[in-house]
Amino acid sequence: MSDRVQLNIRLDKHPKIYELIKQRAKKEGSSINDYAINVLGRELGLEIDQTPVAQALERIASLEQRMEKLESSLSGETPA
């Protein structure tokens, strides 16, 4: 049996932070709790696995950049 460790953070005086956490967690397809733990871990220098949605968004952004470069080279333009 594992020991349970719990950290309670009050955000009632920081509604903007809470809203940002909610928005980013939703965007990454993560729970608020998992997102907050990942942010804390990254800030402490730990290597944190991305959620599948975050990984997919990163791949899409990379593909978009590659497509833009390809389109520019095909049209004879210099890529930005």
State the sign of the Cα–Cα–Cα–Cα dihedral 44, 50, 54, 60.
positive
CA dihedral in degrees (24, 27, 31, 36; nearest 10)?
A: -20
Q: In the chain, pLDDT over 90 holds for what percent of residues?
A: 35
pLDDT tens readout for residues 31-64: 899 889 889 988 999 887 766 766 777 788 889 9
Q: Is pLDDT of 79 > 60?
A: no
- Whole-number pLDDT of residue 78: 62
- Whole-number pLDDT of residue 12: 94
Q: Is pLDDT of 10 > 80?
A: yes
